[in-house]
Amino acid sequence: MMIDQSLTQVVGGIKELAQLLETDLKHGIGDNNKDDIDHRKRVFGVNMLTKPPSKCFLSFVLESFNDTTIIILLVCSLLSLFFGIKQHGWKEGWYDGGSIILAVILVIAVSSVSNFNQSKQFQKLSAKSNNMGGVEVVRGGRRQSISTFDVVVGDIVCLKVGDQVPADGVFLEGHSLKVDESRMTGESDHVHVHANGEIEKNPFLLLSAGTKVTDGFARMLVTSVGMNTAWGTMMGFITNKEVNNEETPLQVRLNKLTSAIGKVGLLVAALVLVVSMARYFAGCTRDDFGNREFVRGRTESDDVVNAVVAIVAAAVTIVVVAIPEGLPLAVTLSLAFSMKKMMRDNAMVRRISACETMGSATTICTDKTGTLTLNEMKVTEVWVGKRKIKADQEEDLAPSLVQLLKEGIGLNTTGSVYFHPHQTSSSLPEISGSPTEKALLSWAVEDLGMGDIDEVKQHCEIIHVETFNSEKKRSGILMREKRGRSNSSNNRVHTHWKGAAEMILRMCSTYYDHTGQIIIIDDEERAQIENIVECMATKSLRCIAFAQKSLLCEKLELEETELTLLGILGLKDPCRPGVGAAVESCKNAGVKIKMITGDNAHTARAIASECGILDDELDDDQAAVVEGFQFRNFSHEERMDKIDRIKVMARSSPSDKLLMVQCLKQKGHVVAVTGDGTNDAPALKEADIGLSMGIQGTDVAKESSDIVILDDNFSSVVTVLERGRCVYANIQKFIQFQLTVNVAALAINFVAAVSSGKVSLSAVQLLWVNLVMDTLGALALATEQPTNDLMNMPPVGRVDPLITRVMWRNLISQAVYQVLVLLTLQFEGRSSIFGGVNEKVKNTMIFNAFVLCQVFNEFNARKLETKNIFEGLGKNKLFMVIVGLTVVLQLVMVEFLNKFANTERLTWEQWCVCVAIGVLSWPIGLLVKCLPVRNKCLPIVTDLRSIARRK
């Protein structure tokens, strides 16, 4: 069902439409009537968009086949299969070609299953992302939060700044409502949905699903949901881009590394091909019986073709094993594992690149309210004039002053107070709204005796509303009393303002004392009141002031001067438990914390000191705390000079926060930003990593972010930082491990082919190593848990090398050891070492020793610098399972799949020799880690210097 303006003539108006939908315009639909809600879902549909069908497993298989190397390998295997069968018959001739085909199928299967599972995981993530926040609806006369998916036609939805409109509907009531329809129309200008008097001209003001509220508030009657909305209809014609096509920055760097190694592999393969061909046709190669393999004019053409195909297959296989195809798989596995763990740690990743980028963060710009604090506001201090009102002294206030405070709090709010029909005098009402609104309304109900807000509204007419603005930090209403008084009295209009104490105080020229007497604010009085505000702020209280003005005129604008101060309320928002430890952890990790808040400088300084952001020795350093107007008024050079010393920015606007992020990025920092409001969206998008709050965060903030912190806790931000570092470290571990395999395999086969014309490792064996090392090795190292030393290291810079000097030291030492040992076995194994074993047994031992070297080197790769490679091994049981599986599969390959793998069964003694060769990787790794590596500057210092030089 879709409503448009042509229905105005048919339906007749909002009330008639509500009657058709069986909705009470005040109380909404039934609260507990599940049958009615289910009926509405059956008739009008569910509020979910139908997504395009996901890719089937076969499509991933076909994508895996779309690889040049795989295609070449398959062609060679088919040729080998054809000529092998022709030469040796069906019984024996299929082994070589069939083995290669089987190995390629295994590689394709592993790749396809991995990509298919990744796609499924991202679909689940997307489903969770689409249902991140709740929607406030009126059901049974009270406001309640429900899932976006549970909104039905006939619901009355309450919209405020930052909300995304969950469905199509019509405007019921509200003030100053603006929506961003860029998602629907492409136009960036915000659209005024309602202005005074407009509702009478057009009773069907439409609100479309997918648009965002940028200002004001309203109530909306839902008329269509899901695929029946305008947004759903449009999305029905669009095929969404697959989420898993996103390529992370690290994957880009890995692709460059893979490309470079692939070029080296191609060069080596070409040399092996040329040398092997030359040696074969020159008659320098011999078979197992010592006879020349090629004799001009005597060797049959089939044998020549078979030999050429075998040489080409060996060369192509060298390319396969040279290209570290496991690197993308390692990234995928590590990121997927990290995303799963982050979800358990109350962080939902919306963009996969944020997992790795967060590990490189050098600065975190954090909000105060709800992130560093609990966001559980409570009025703890009240001042009327220059007198502090204690909890048992509200009765001493003049009745006229109490009434004005009730109006200022009850009318100038977006919250609500719901009294249950059977509520006792001792039970508290249900209060909804933002934490600040709830605290103010609770105080008004409990201490001032304010009843239902609707009763207050019945006696007045709201003329104009100015909603809370992050720039002005205040909100106001203009109202006229509707009581049965004289006409002159009814012409009196009243302005009520509420906002930051220092902002409201500037607008006031008088104040009420507790007796209701109005006193002029002279310079001395102003200084005393400002001192009261300052003292409250130093106690980390948020100071909210109320002011009022009455005029006997028809002026329909909010007065902003000559107001009378009603009172100042101090709201306490305690710090979250564990915030101090989390901040200290960031400092140890070399990550700077900057608190950006709208509170005044005294409150901000007090909270920052309590959380540990400000050190004791910096408490008196004025450079550490600035206000937003100061920061924006600095010259560019001053900002760039002072920005590293700034730890707190108070009284900041969204543009100040954005400016801070831009300056930090220009200085070379990798910046993470936390935010929860609509106005935080620019800073969240500008930051390298945007983190929105899952509880208090608006839909706009969440949509602009990369990661959603589900519990709004700064400790979870630190956990994300630790997980991000773990991702990067795990990928570096696998790179070191993988490149050791590549370098050793290339060197062994190249030297053997050039010197003897025979490769030590056959095509099937190389494919087996590639398969096992790429898949199982990636899985083992990608699932390593974060360690304590990760948060004691400096952050990784933007352009730091992916392969560090420490990695090169470890990699080269292991590769040299493997090449020397295995080439020694290649040339001296039969005669000097093993004493008369045949060529096939010798090659089997080389293959077995090579694989076992990688198995034991996997333990070395767990720790890039730590000498104790077994530290924390018990926490990663999956690692031990994978290592055990690798050994079992290798045992099967050597002992049972002899024809497939071109191996011979080995004796226990020969197995012990192979194991001993592998075990030697451990002491070599230990000795190498004793060699000092000249440290460079800290990564961030290197980045800053390079940027400074470019400037």
Residue 195's pLDDT is 44
Residue 643's pLDDT is 93
Each residue's pLDDT tens digit, 349-383: 877 778 778 888 999 999 888 788 888 889 999 99
Residue 15's pLDDT is 83
Last residue of a domain, one of 712, 741, 770: 712
Residue 204's pLDDT is 54
Query: Which residue in 468, 436, 475, 431 sits closest to 453, CA to CA?
Result: 431
Highest mean pLDDT among 224-228, 709-713, 859-863: 859-863
**Alpha-carbon span 579 to 608, nearest angstrom:** 11
Residue 249's pLDDT is 58
Q: Which of 278-292, 563-577, 849-863, 929-943 has the lowest mean pLDDT?
A: 929-943
Structural domain includes residue 693: yes
Residue 594's pLDDT is 95
Do 748 and 883 fall into the same domain? yes
Residue 9 has pLDDT above 60, yes or no: no
Domain that holds residue 612: 347-374+576-712
Residue 531 has pLDDT above 70, yes or no: yes
Structural domain includes residue 78: no
Do 638 and 523 fall into the same domain? no
Structural domain includes residue 261: no
Structural domain includes residue 125: no
Each residue's pLDDT tens digit, 733-771: 988 998 898 888 888 878 877 776 667 787 778 778 876
Structural domain includes residue 42: yes
Q: Which residues contact 351 (CB under 8 A, 6 or more apart)?
A: 246, 706, 707
- 641 given a catalytic annotation: no
Residue 289 has pLDDT above 80, yes or no: no
**Alpha-carbon span 43 to 737, nearest angstrom:** 59
Structural domain includes residue 104: no
Do 499 and 521 fall into the same domain? yes
**Mean model confidence pLDDT for the chain:** 80
Residue 11 has pLDDT above 80, yes or no: no
Q: Which of 98-107, 431-440, 504-513, 515-524 has the lowest mean pLDDT?
A: 98-107
Report H helices in 216-352: 230-235, 249-281, 301-322, 326-344
Query: Which residue in 698, 693, 697 sits closest to 711, CA to CA?
Result: 693
Residue 834 has pLDDT above 80, yes or no: no
Band of residue 596 on the pLDDT scale cut at 50, 70, 90: very high
**Alpha-carbon span 315 to 763, nearest angstrom:** 9
Do 547 and 442 fall into the same domain? yes
Structural domain includes residue 951: no
Residue 653 has pLDDT above 80, yes or no: yes
**Alpha-carbon span 599 to 602, nearest angstrom:** 8
Structural domain includes residue 259: no
CATH number at residue 166: 2.70.150.10
Residue 522's pLDDT is 93
CATH number at residue 859: 1.20.1110.10
Percent of the chain with pLDDT over 90: 26
Q: Which of 387-396, 882-891, 930-939 has the lowest mean pLDDT?
A: 930-939
Last residue of a domain, one of 712, 737, 759: 712
Last residue of a domain, one of 684, 712, 740: 712
The secondary structure of 126-188, three-state, reads HHHHHCCCEEEEEECCEEEEEEHHHCCCCCEEEECCCCECCCEEEEEEEEEEEEECHHHHCCC
CATH number at residue 370: 3.40.50.1000
* DSSP per residue, 637-680: HHHHHHTTT--EEES--HHHHHHHHHHHHHTT--EEEEE-SGGG
Among candidate residues 96, 163, 168, 367, the one labeled active-site is 367
Residue 489 has pLDDT above 70, yes or no: no
Query: Which residue in 339, 263, 356 sits closest to 731, CA to CA?
Result: 356
Residue 916's pLDDT is 95
Residue 512 has pLDDT above 70, yes or no: yes
Do 611 and 551 fall into the same domain? no
Do 179 and 149 fall into the same domain? yes
Q: Which of 51-60, 211-220, 251-260, 693-702 has the lowest mean pLDDT?
A: 251-260
* The two structure tokens encoding residue 937: 């500057």
Highest mean pLDDT among 72-81, 170-179, 794-803: 170-179
Do 411 and 473 fall into the same domain? yes
**Alpha-carbon span 496 to 513, nearest angstrom:** 18
CB contact at 8 A, 17 and 11: yes
Percent of the chain with pLDDT over 70: 80
Band of residue 938 on the pLDDT scale cut at 50, 70, 90: very low
Do 592 and 706 fall into the same domain? yes
Do 540 and 442 fall into the same domain? yes
| pTM recorded for the entire structure | 0.73
Band of residue 200 on the pLDDT scale cut at 50, 70, 90: very low
Residue 190's pLDDT is 55
Higher pLDDT, 556 or 815: 815
Average pLDDT rounded to a whole number, residues 696-702: 76
Domain count of the fold of the chain? 4
Burial class (CB in 10 A: 0-12, 13-18, 19+), 78: middle
Residue 32 has pLDDT above 80, yes or no: no
* The two structure tokens encoding residue 740: 């050791």
Do 671 and 615 fall into the same domain? yes
Q: How far from chain centre, in Å, is Cα 301?
A: 62
Q: Which of 40-44, 449-453, 670-674, 726-730 has the lowest mean pLDDT?
A: 449-453
Residue 811 has pLDDT above 80, yes or no: yes
Each residue's pLDDT tens digit, 204-241: 567 677 777 877 788 889 998 988 887 777 666 544 43
Do 548 and 649 fall into the same domain? no
CATH number at residue 447: 3.40.1110.10
Do 466 and 612 fall into the same domain? no
Residue 860 has pLDDT above 90, yes or no: yes
* DSSP per residue, 2-54: ---TTHHHHH-SHHHHHHHTT-BTTTBB-SS-HHHHHHHHHHH--S-PPPPPP
* SS3 at position 889: helix
